[in-house]
Amino acid sequence: MTKNDKSKSKIVKKTAVKKVSKKTIKSEHSANDRSFVISLGGSLIFDKSTGQFNLDFIKEWKNLIETYLDQGYRFVLVMGGGKTARFYQEAGRHFGYTDEQLDYLGIQATRINALFLNFLFADKPEVIEDPRKIKAWGKNNLFVCGGWKPGFSTDYVSTLIAKQLGCANLINLSDTDYIYDSDPRTNPKAKKFDNLTWEQYFKVFHGDDAWQPGRHLPFDPVASKLAAQAGMSLYYLNGKNIKTIKQFLGFEKFTGTIIN
């Protein structure tokens, strides 16, 4: 994003829901750029209450992406491992697996999730395993990726691809409306953030720059450092809120957190 593209964020108050006020933030990304790199948390495709695939959500997500592809949008979708990865990693820790071994388990989980996502849009398996291969869009309007190699999360994969493509629209889809200083589902006093600088983000969340398999942060430390150095903005949205995603993709005011 260039300085000319940047506009001051406006906060608009909305009706409180369950005593937690929601705000919408004015989109800072340029309507002239319809290319998006999206990091999807693996938890998005599963129903937490049952542990099964959330088929209705997956169908809605598929229709959403196809609608915007038809409008000339381009997407890189980078799939996380989510519960599948943690399921294997927790068992691996029980048997004393090394961090590298645990990382390999997580990477394979991201790839099976990505393959499942890939088949929603293509007949053949076309999951990109090495993000360095995506340096230009070419004739493609959609890439689907999983994990890369030990020591690098899917957050890092999405950030690296965005940098290589010169894409200013880096989105992290999770299962909360904002970035909070603690889990709002277990801490009713959790503080939410509408806007953060990268410096503020590092101060709140990163005591060190180490990547650890299964470590749960809004955006991992290695990827965050790369994004900050590249001058990127990160848009953190609730991936299960289709309305919010439509607002963001439509360059409207949206609910979420911006880090820049």
Strand duo 257-259 + 195-196: pairing = parallel
Nearest-Å Rg of the Cα atoms of the chain is 18
Query: Is 9 a member of any domain?
Result: no
Query: Is 139 a member of any domain?
Result: yes
Distance CA 230, CA 222 (A): 13
pLDDT of residue 206: 72
**Burial label, 151 (beta-carbon count in 10 A; 0-12, 13-18, 19+):** middle
Provide the CATH number for the domain around residue 120: 3.40.1160.10
Q: Which two tokens stand for residue 68?
A: 């915007």
Residues with Cβ within 8 Å of 133's Cβ and at least 6 positions away in sequence, in order, are none
Query: Is 1 a member of any domain?
Result: no
> DSSP string covering 162-226, please?
HHHHT--EEEEEESSSSEESS-TTT-TTPPEESEE-HHHHHHHH-SS----TT---SS-HHHHHH
Query: Is 108 a member of any domain?
Result: yes
Q: Characterize 42-66 residue by residue with b for buried, 16 or more Cβ atoms within 10 angstroms of its Cβ, and e for exposed.
A: bbbbbeeeeeeebeebbeebeeebe
Q: What is the pLDDT along the chain (260 residues), one digit of tens a residue?
A: 444 444 433 333 333 334 444 555 555 565 568 999 999 988 899 887 788 899 999 999 999 999 999 999 999 999 999 889 999 999 999 999 999 999 999 999 999 999 999 999 999 999 999 999 999 999 999 999 999 999 999 999 999 999 999 998 899 999 899 999 888 888 989 999 999 999 999 988 875 555 455 556 789 888 999 999 999 999 999 999 999 999 999 999 999 999 99
Query: Is 72 a member of any domain?
Result: yes
Query: Is 136 a member of any domain?
Result: yes
Q: How many domains does the chain have?
A: 1
Query: Is 21 a member of any domain?
Result: no
The reported pTM is 0.84
Q: Which of 203, 213, 196, 93 is nearest to 152 (CA)?
A: 213
Query: Is 251 a member of any domain?
Result: yes
Task: Count the residues in the chain.
Answer: 260
Boundaries of domain holding 108? 33-259
